[in-house]
Amino acid sequence: MVLDNFFNFIFSFAINLGAPWSIIIISFIITLIMSLVTKYLTDQTEMKHLKEELQHLQKEIKSNQDNPSKTQEIQKRLIETNMKYMKQSFKPMLYTFLPIIIFFGWLKSIYPADVDLINWGFNIPLFGMGLGWLGTYIISSIIFSIIIRKLFKIH
């Protein structure tokens, strides 16, 4: 791949730590970058407002379960508000999608798909004996995303 040398240079400090730690550190860095892109490419005030409105509408639906026509009206507003929220959240994805695909191609070339980076020592149906690079990346990025979003107040 064209960018292999670039990524190898940028992340050489992490790669030298060993497979599980390198994926976890790289996951943190990429999640941080993506979170900051999200924060600065979306209107955080609008996102917060839409999120609060979605929560309010969900509570309204629960409290009006015995009135189907009212529930249907609230659901229509909920869908409209959710579409506005999704439209806002798609903006950063347009900027990060292609770089992430390229980046995952590099990770795939560094770490074999059939090797468990984290091994828990027993077989779990559907999961096997451990996690490969992708599973390790996904789990650590979910954890980091939750923490980073709370720290930077990203909605």
Residue of 3, 20, 19 whose CA lies nearest to 98: 3
Please tell me the predicted confidence (pLDDT) of residue 1.
62
Distance CA 58, CA 123 (A): 40
Q: pLDDT tens-digit profile of 103-153? A: 999 999 998 888 888 888 888 887 788 888 998 999 999 999 999 999 999
Q: Does 27 score more than 80 pLDDT?
A: yes
Q: pLDDT tens-digit profile of 58-86? A: 999 999 888 888 899 999 999 999 999 99
DSSP string, 7-74: HHHHTHHHHTT-HHHHHHHHHHHHHHHHHHHHHHHS-HHHHHHHHHHHHHHHHHHHHTTT-HHHHHHH
**Helix axis angle, 68-110 relative to 44-63, nearest 10°?**
130
Decide: pTM greater than 0.95: no
Task: Work out the burial of residue 104: count CB atoms within 10 Å of its CB; fewer than 13 is exposed, 13-18 middle, 19 or more buried.
Answer: middle
Per-domain boundaries in the chain: 4-151
